Amino acid sequence: MSADITRVGVVGGGQMGAGIAEVCARAGLDTVVSEVDAVAARAARDRIASSLDRAVRRGKLEREAARDALARTAFTGSLDDLADRQLVVEAVVEHPEAKTEVFAALDKIVEDPAAVLATNTSSLPVMRLGMATQRADRVVGLHFFNPVPVLPLVEVVTSLHTSAETTAAAENFAAGTLGKTVVRSKDRAGFVVNALLIPYLLAAVRMAESGFASAADIDAGMELGCAHPMGPLRLADLIGLDTVASIAESLYGEFREQLYSPPPLLQRMVEAGLLGRKTGRGFHVYDQG
């Protein structure tokens, strides 16, 4: 792709999608967030506005820059409004069917054949999503980390079909335009970070499940004994226990190794809607006010 990417679309305005859209808008890009309907689109706008306001209050962003970022971000309830985008990042729920459906639709909607179609999946095969399109060479993984405006890392994940041109465009966008640090990964479940992180989180869940130690003591042990900024169960709550379980299932499905198998306690908590910070309760309780 010879032209710089200046027009970006984000599919999904949840925690991750809103964060991706925010960093794009703060980098001066024309950004469109597509949600399932107008109500969800307004919620995505509110989510980004709140995040920008927090950045201003913490002295990380000037008030005028926050206003400008929100002004250059459009919100829509229709994928059709992404037709003119040079890059679209999919950030919907971590379910293969939902993501595949989005890519099949984008393939028909996005007009520029040289546009990059990226997925923010945590663990699903990029190849599977690329094969839902007629342009698998333009499909790549751009895996951001939560909270996106704060964490500097992006994993760039290439499938067997991803072209060198697409890879270069994705890396230049993440590193050059957004100022992120890029690590590269082949297209295997979990990529680099989650392939290492998820077994650690699951081990902590199993320890709590067995009654070996409390959630508070497990987290304190890793924070104070190993200098981790956040204990494993608090981190799992931040990520979202549903997301942790989904990534674990994807890893186990690919490798069939027990260390990737989601423990029963994790599965029960997801079924109960105890998903961590976003619901106010997971392994810890959080103030939703």
Positions marked active-site: 122, 143, 155, 194
Give the span between the Cα atoms of 18 and 229, in whole angstroms: 24
197-214 exposure pattern, b = at least 16 Cβ within 10 A, e = fewer:
bbbebbebbbbbeeeeee
Mapped onto helix, strand or coil, the DSSP state of residue 157 is strand
DSSP 233-278: HHHHHHH-HHHHHHHHHHHHHHH--GGGSPPHHHHHHHHTT--BGG
Cis amide bond preceding 113, omega within 30: no
- Who contacts 289 (Cβ-Cβ below 8 Å, separation ≥6)? none
Contact 137, 113 (CB under 8 A): no
Q: What does the buried/exposed string (b/e) look like for 218-228 if buried means 16 or more CB atoms within 10 Å of the residue's CB?
A: bbebbeeeeee
What are the backbone angles phi and psi of residue 132, rounded to the nearest 5°?
-80, -5
